[in-house]
């Protein structure tokens, strides 16, 4: 009976199953008629906005539309009566009169001066009428998103040319202000071209934060003017980021409405670079990283190394390094790590051991608090960034060891362990970015990187390993469905939920570099993008996974058509037979969940 009801309600829409299906789905998209609007390939922009970033984005969108000649690879259809896919053709709806042609996009931007910073207005409204496309946007950043939506509304048909399927009204704005992808160039170097490609894809999906974990204990790829010896710890002399390259990424990203939040992971995960600048600033860098042969575990990965928290020279070095790296990034937010501190590492520091001996009631929590008290004032005293807000991994509050006194108004915590931590952190009043590994770590499920792991031997003692996690600490692989169905606020009160700034999908790079980075991130990041832009529920409050399927499958084809090597998600059959690969045919396409 539910099915009958849905059919009835579908029957009342002007264009029930449009081929165009922008991702992320706008907050509201109303097709008003089925009268095709042709697009003049000489589409012009009429606007009172004076900013080049908008002109450039418009050229980008129209260049893509008119050179790509994209034809949707799949679309929404009722599962009961779909026809086989008409390859490469879409019939226009029958009309007696000649379709109208649109040759103008009218754009008004309310505040064209707003800088691209956390919380900037990204809303826009877009209307396709009979003679024009009208866009109104709060800021230029909203205008950029209007264009990526427009790009995804236009269809190309060889006979007819470029067209939009009917008049449409879109009202759109994001649910969350922080919508990110994290990349890691410390474990393996990432070439700039790959990073820029990733930024292009992010903007098509309306993701607005590139969190760049620049370095780690293994390598220091950043060229430093004040401390050139640090880059001796890059993997090779050509796997370094020059100041010009950092600036290029930031400038390019801004042109796409993407903020770049750099991360220097301190005081843990610190060896490469630091040890060249001042060997005393790094504790346990020469210890064996794990197992019990040499005194126990000093790191989760080789090589170990943590900044010496008691040695005074550490802070002189930290100030120099932070100020120089920070000067290349114009975002108000900077990520300072503070995760996975290993107590054992400081068995190798006489400074720390003397400090404990001086007052035997001191604990490792006190030690981390000492770091917070000395280092945060340095990070917050950034003359180029008077509005500096710091991001840090949740460990500094919730792991062992942890600090107890932190400036909540200046700190955003990134949650990556169990999702129950979201409750603990927001209950305690912290602003939080969600990236819990059980849902949002894109590196999970690819096995392990330990080179001689004996557990692969197929003996009974290893069955749990080989028939379970298989060496991936966060197995299994997170599918787009897993990501899309993450109800991360489900256990939070309204006021706790209001502290969630957004979410990030993270690709750690122990087993990723430029050769596979795009495939591992895309199109799965698009599932996160819709989740944090307009959510995962339809108008009736039902989970819209079935509806999302054709949208994300098409979005992947849209990326591939532009030359990006995004991974396939299904046999192509599933695109050519919309919803044929759903499992529950007796349910409507919208309520399988
Ligand atoms: C395209 O539009 C511009 C401005 O509206 C006009 O000057 C130009 O002649 C047009 N070009 C073509 C090929 O129609
Ligand atoms: C394009 O649209 C026309 C008119 O509806 C239709 O007859 C044709 O099959 C479509 N496809 C191609 C490739 O022209
Ligand atoms: C552009 O038009 C909008 C809407 O009328 C207005 O709010 C805005 O101030 C105008 N911007 C400029 C730069 O004139
Ligand atoms: C878009 O439309 C909504 C509702 O019609 C309105 O509240 C909002 O201010 C508009 N936004 C912009 C950027 O014009
Ligand atoms: C480190 O600095 C503090 C405060 O400036 C000072 O009291 C202490 O003696 C210094 N320690 C060393 C080892 O230099
Ligand atoms: C010793 O350390 C503890 C824990 O940090 C602190 O509460 C106490 O005041 C310290 N005692 C002295 C004499 O500094
Ligand atoms: C902040 O930085 C400025 C410029 O580097 C420096 O002069 C000043 O002493 C610093 N203030 C604090 C409180 O560290
Ligand atoms: C800092 O933030 C305030 C309030 O949002 C804003 O008015 C000011 O322009 C910002 N300053 C800088 C340098 O970004
Ligand atoms: C989170 O809060 C729960 C409930 O108060 C508590 O049992 C748990 O220990 C807390 N977890 C952490 C990591 O603090
Ligand atoms: C998420 O929440 C929705 C709405 O409350 C619910 O229908 C759905 O089952 C939940 N999904 C998961 C995976 O928990
Ligand atoms: C919410 O709480 C339930 C019950 O404790 C738990 O099973 C679930 O994993 C939690 N979900 C999230 C997203 O925290």
> For 235-277, how does the pLDDT look when each residue is reduced to its tens digit (9 = 90+)?
999 999 999 999 999 999 999 999 999 999 999 999 999 999 9
Residue 1 pLDDT: 27
Helix axes 364-380, 313-326, angle to 10 degrees: 40
Pocket of ligand 9 (CB under 6 A): 398, 424
Q: Counting ligands in written order, which one lies closest to the CA of residue 398?
A: 9
User: Is the distance from CB of 203 to CB of 258 less than 8 angstroms?
Assistant: yes
For residue 131, how far is its CA from the centre of ligand 7 (angstroms)?
Answer: 58
Q: Does position 590 have pLDDT exceeding 50, yes or no?
A: no
DSSP assignment, residue 92?
A: P
From atom 11 of ligand 7, which residue's Cα is the shortest distance away? 381
**Structure tokens belonging to residue 217:** 């204990």
Q: Counting ligands in written order, which one lies closest to the CA of residue 370?
A: 6
Q: How confident is the model at residue 11 (pLDDT cuts 50, 70, 90)?
A: very low
Q: Residue 522: is it exposed, middle or buried by C-beta count within 10 angstroms (0-12/13-18/19+)?
A: buried
φ, ψ for residue 470 (rounded to 5)? 60, 30
Residue 271 pLDDT: 98
Positions marked active-site:
216, 269, 340
Residue 2 pLDDT: 35
**Structure tokens belonging to residue 592:** 């399988």
For residue 484, how far is its CA from the centre of ligand 10 (angstroms)?
Answer: 10
Give 213's contacts (C-beta < 8 A, 6+ positions apart). 182, 183, 184, 185, 186, 263, 265, 335, 508
Write the pLDDT tens digit of every residue in 79-128. Answer: 655 555 555 455 555 555 688 999 999 999 999 999 999 999 999 999 99
C-alpha distances in angstroms, 272 versus 63, 160, 221, 379?
43, 59, 9, 21
Residue 583 pLDDT: 81
Residue 535 pLDDT: 97
Residue 416 pLDDT: 98
Residue 486 pLDDT: 96
pTM value is 0.94
Write the pLDDT tens digit of every residue in 272-323. Answer: 999 999 999 999 999 989 866 545 789 999 999 999 999 999 999 999 999 9
- Any ligand 6 atom below 6 A from CB of 359: yes
Write the pLDDT tens digit of every residue in 126-148. Answer: 999 989 999 999 999 999 999 99
Q: How confident is the model at residue 210 (pLDDT cuts 50, 70, 90)?
A: very high
**Structure tokens belonging to residue 405:** 């006194």
From atom 13 of ligand 2, which residue's Cα is the shortest distance away? 89
For residue 64, how far is its CA from the centre of ligand 9 (angstroms)?
Answer: 50
Q: How confident is the model at residue 450 (pLDDT cuts 50, 70, 90)?
A: very high
C-alpha distances in angstroms, 90 versus 156, 483, 580?
9, 32, 19
Write the pLDDT tens digit of every residue in 544-588. Answer: 998 999 999 999 999 999 999 999 999 999 999 988 898 865 454
Q: Give mean pLDDT, residues 204-222.
A: 98
- By most ligand atoms within 8 Å of CB, the mutation choice from 423, 424, 425, 436 for ligand 9 is 424
Write the pLDDT tens digit of every residue in 339-371. Answer: 999 999 999 999 999 999 999 999 999 999 999
Q: Counting ligands in written order, which one lies closest to the CA of residue 159?
A: 2
Residue 7 pLDDT: 36
For residue 243, how far is its CA from the centre of ligand 3 (angstroms)?
Answer: 37
**Structure tokens belonging to residue 199:** 């930024």
Strand 259-266 with 209-213, pairing: parallel
User: Is the distance from CB of 504 to CB of 180 less than 8 angstroms?
Assistant: yes
Q: Give mean pLDDT, residues 386-414.
A: 98
């Amino acid at each position: 009976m539910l099915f009958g009801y849905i059919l009835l309600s579908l029957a009342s829409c002007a264009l029930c199953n449009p081929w165009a299906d922008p991702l992320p789905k706008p907050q509201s998209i109303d097709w008003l008629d089925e009268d095709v609007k042709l697009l003049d390939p000489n589409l012009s922009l009429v606007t009172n906005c004076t900013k080049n970033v908008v002109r450039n984005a418009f050229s980008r969108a129209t260049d893509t539309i008119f050179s790509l000649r994209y034809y949707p690879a799949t679309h929404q259809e009722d599962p009961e009566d779909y026809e086989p896919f008409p390859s490469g053709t879409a019939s226009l709806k029958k009309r007696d009169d000649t379709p109208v042609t649109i040759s103008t996009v009218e754009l008004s931007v309310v505040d064209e001066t707003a800088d691209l910073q956390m919380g900037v207005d990204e809303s826009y409204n877009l209307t396709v009428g009979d003679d024009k496309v009208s866009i109104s946007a709060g800021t230029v950043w909203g205008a950029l998103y209007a264009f990526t939506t427009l790009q995804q509304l236009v269809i190309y048909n060889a006979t007819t040319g470029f067209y939009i399927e009917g008049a449409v009204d879109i009202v759109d704005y994001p649910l969350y202000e922080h919508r990110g992808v994290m990349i890691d160039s410390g474990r393996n170097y990432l070439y700039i071209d790959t990073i820029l490609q990733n930024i292009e894809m992010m903007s098509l999906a309306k993701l607005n934060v590139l969190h760049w974990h620049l370095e780690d204990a293994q390598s220091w790829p950043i060229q430093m003017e004040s401390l050139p010896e640090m880059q001796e710890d890059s993997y090779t002399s050509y796997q370094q980021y020059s100041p010009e390259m950092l600036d290029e990424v930031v400038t390019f990203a801004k042109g796409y409405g993407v903020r770049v939040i750099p991360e220097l992971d301190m005081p843990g995960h610190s060896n490469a670079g630091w040890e060249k600048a001042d060997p005393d600033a790094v504790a346990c860098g020469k210890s064996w990283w794990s197992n019990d042969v040499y005194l126990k575990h000093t790191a989760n990965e080789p090589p170990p190394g943590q900044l010496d928290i008691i040695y005074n020279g550490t802070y002189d070095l930290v100030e120099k390094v932070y100020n120089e790296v920070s000067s290349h990034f114009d975002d108000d937010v900077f990520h300072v790590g503070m995760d996975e501190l290993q107590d054992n590492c400081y068995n190798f520091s006489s400074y720390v051991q003397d400090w404990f001996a001086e007052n035997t009631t001191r604990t490792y929590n006190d030690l981390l608090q000492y770091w917070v008290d000395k280092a945060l004032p340095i990070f917050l005293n950034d003359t180029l960034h008077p509005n500096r807000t710091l991001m840090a991994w949740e460990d500094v509050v919730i792991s062992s060891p942890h600090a107890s006194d932190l400036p909540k108004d200046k700190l955003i915590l990134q949650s990556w362990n169990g999702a129950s931590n979201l409750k603990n952190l927001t209950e305690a009043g912290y602003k939080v970015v969600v990236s819990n590994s059980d849902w949002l770590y894109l590196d999970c499920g690819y096995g392990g990187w330990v080179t001689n792991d004996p557990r692969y031997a197929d003996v009974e003692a290893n069955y749990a390993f080989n028939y379970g996690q298989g060496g991936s600490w966060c197995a299994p692989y997170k599918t787009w469905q897993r990501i899309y169905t993450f109800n991360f606020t489900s256990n939070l009160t309204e006021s706790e939920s209001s502290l969630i700034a957004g979410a990030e999908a993270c690709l750690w790079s122990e087993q990723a570099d430029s050769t596979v980075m795009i495939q591992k991130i895309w199109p799965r990041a698009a599932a996160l993008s819709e989740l944090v832009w307009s959510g995962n529920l339809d108008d009736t409050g039902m989970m819209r996974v079935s509806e999302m399927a054709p949208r994300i499958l098409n979005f992947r084809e849209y990326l591939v058509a532009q030359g990006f090597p995004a991974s396939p998600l299904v046999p192509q059959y599933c695109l050519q037979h919309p919803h044929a690969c759903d499992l529950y045919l007796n349910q409507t396409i919208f309520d399988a969940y």
